Structure 1
């Protein structure tokens, strides 16, 4: 099936799962014309449909609860219950039980397609895999106040970024969330809050089209923000025509994590509720400079993925048994094949879409 048909079929399925924001889908279609990396971020549904055909030697690997839509910009910072600054994977919308290598392949593919990629592709794949092995064997959260303090200069929010954040919040358009969302957002706020307004928010790549609402409130002399984003089953289930429930919290809170205490699901599990703040954000790795820094971060990304996959002891043992059986260059070769397929889909999309 062509990408165009898969895209249309997936969007029809999405409309059955939530009240799609059609203008956001139009915006998503425009963003998908930017480059192959942005296109990859927006099209996990196509990846889920294609990856087993592209990499048949990996489909028999142990299937574990996986991130699914993993890429180099699906990492960021948050504060845990102790107020510590934590870095790691921070979006599990597409979590599903998937052969474990496919998370690694998608991460390496995204590094390969990043517009400002600097590291040699073979070295990048080897570095990700090295970090992954360490994270699988010795899983732990990445705490920026302790062992991972070297990251702080590259991920801590600058004064300019803080101003940009609040300017963006000011520009969020007013909205009237459904009653269940209003209730969930209010419940997420600390005692003594005063609601200033509700708004909608357009953010993300593959999640564009799902309703997002925010509440901006006043508390103890300053503004605080919470977001509610519609949660639907993983596109892995769409691609494989299976039934499945969202597994977001199963990865976000369990295992070797220092979880975000503000992260929750609304009653009925229809929306993800989270804190939005300048120091709680995704990291734009594709814009980082310096080959050595890039490799260090790729190693750390592999490490955190290993820690996520190690959350269940049986999964950790199955992967540890399977991984040594793979050829040395398996990740490099798989990412190369996957990247070429993404590029073909991107080229097709560019041909049939009007120019930006």
Structure 2
């Protein structure tokens, strides 16, 4: 099936799962024309449909509760219940039971496709795998106040970025969430005084799903919570599987130090948003050694996530020991080529979006 047909089929399914914001979906379509990396981020559904055909030698590997939509920009910071700054995977929308190698392949593929990559592809794959093995062996959250303090320069929030964040919050348009979502947001704010509800446009693959924010006043300043619509993983869509979203189970797993405000209510994810709750920023950091350090850390956190599946550690380690050197590099090369072909197809034949097209 062509990418265009898969995309149309997935979006029909998505409309059956939530009330799609068509203008945001149109924005996603435009973003998908930017480059192959942005396209990869927005199209996990296609990856889920294609990856087993592209890498058939990996599909029988041990299956674990997986991230699904793993990529180099799916990492960031948050505060845990002790106020500690934590770094790691911060989006589990596509969590599903998947053969473990496919999370690794998607992460290595994203490193290959990143526009400003400064690391040789083979070295990137080897470094990710090295970190992954360590994360399996010694799973733990990455705490930036202790062992991972070297990473703090990558995630520090500047005064300018803080100002930009609050200016953005000020500009969020007013909105009226569904009553149950509004109630969940109020409950998460506890004793804070609600100022207003608004809507928000963010993300890559999640564009099109409704997002609401609650802005409140608490002890001299503003605080913000977001509610984002959650649907079953596109892996389930691609494999015709049933089941509830697994987001919260993975995000609060055994080796995580989760955001205490993270919750799920009425098929919406509730979470804190703040200047220090942010994605890793690599835009001005180009040192190849540091870039390798970060890829190692990404692999480590992914290994810790997979280690939370009971009995998985030993099975994965045996499977890894039986694979030839360079397997991850080779799989990522094949996958990246397929993504690029889909990207070129999208750029060549996509028609301009119109409101009528959304119901075709």
**TM-score bracket, shorter-length normalisation:** over 0.9
Tell me, in whole angstroms, the C-alpha distance in 2 between the residues paired with 1:285 and 1:237: 32
Q: Distance in 2 between matches of 1:353 and 1:49?
A: 20
Residue matched to 1:236? 235
**1:108 and 2:105 matched:** no
1:255 corresponds to: 254
Deviations along 1:23-80, one digit per CA (max 9) or x if unpaired, are: 0000000000000000000000000000000000000100100000000000000000
Match of 1:301 among 298, 313, 318: 298
CA distance in 2, matches of 1:149, 1:231: 33
TM-score by length of 1: 0.97
Q: Following TM superposition, by how much is the alpha carbon of 1:355 offset from its aligned partner in structure 2, in angstroms?
A: 8.3
Q: Does 1:324 align with 2:317?
A: no
Q: TM-score, normalised by structure 2?
A: 0.96
Q: Is the contact made by 1:177 and 1:213 (CA closer than 8 Å) also made in structure 2? A: yes
1:246 and 2:245 aligned: yes
Distance 1:101 1:281 in 2: 27
Q: Go from structure 1 to structure 2 and tell me whether the alpha carbon gap of 1:354 and 1:302 turns closer, same or farther (over 3 Å shift).
A: same
Q: Give the superposition deviation at 1:313.
A: 3.3
Once the two structures are superposed, the pairs formed by residues 31-180 of structure 1 within 5 Å of their partners are 31-180=31-180
1:284 aligns with 2:281: yes
Whole-angstrom distance in 1 between the partners of 2:244 and 2:282: 31
Q: Is the 8 A contact 1:115 1:286 kept in 2?
A: no
Question: Does the Cα contact within 8 Å between 2:154 and 2:282 map onto a contact in 1?
Answer: no
Instruction: Note the alpha carbon deviations across 1:276-297, whole angstroms, 9 max, x for none.
Output: 0000011134653111111000
Q: Which secondary structure does the structure 2 equivalent of 1:313 belong to?
A: coil
CA 1:87–1:47 in 2, change beyond 3 Å: closer, same or farther?
same
Secondary structure at 1:197's aligned position in 2? strand
Residues 172 and 198 in structure 2, CA contact (< 8 A), matched pair in contact too: yes
Residues 73, 285 of structure 1: 8 Å contact kept: no
Residue in structure 1 matched with residue 347 of structure 2 by the alignment: 350
Offset of residue 190 of structure 1? 3.1
Cα offset, 1:312, TM superposition: 2.4
Higher alpha-carbon deviation: 310-319 or 330-339: 310-319
Q: Please state if 1:25 is matched with 2:25.
A: yes
What per-residue deviation string (whole Å, max 9, x for no partner) do you get for residues 206-251 of structure 1? Answer: 0001000001111101000000000100000100111121000111
Q: CA deviation at 1:354?
A: 5.5
Report the secondary structure of 2:154's partner residue.
helix
In the other structure, the counterpart of 2:5 is 5
Task: Give unmatched runs, 5+ long, in structure 2.
Answer: 354-360
1:117, 1:286 within 8 Å by CA — same for their partners in 2? no
Determine the structure 2 residue equivalent to 1:227.
226
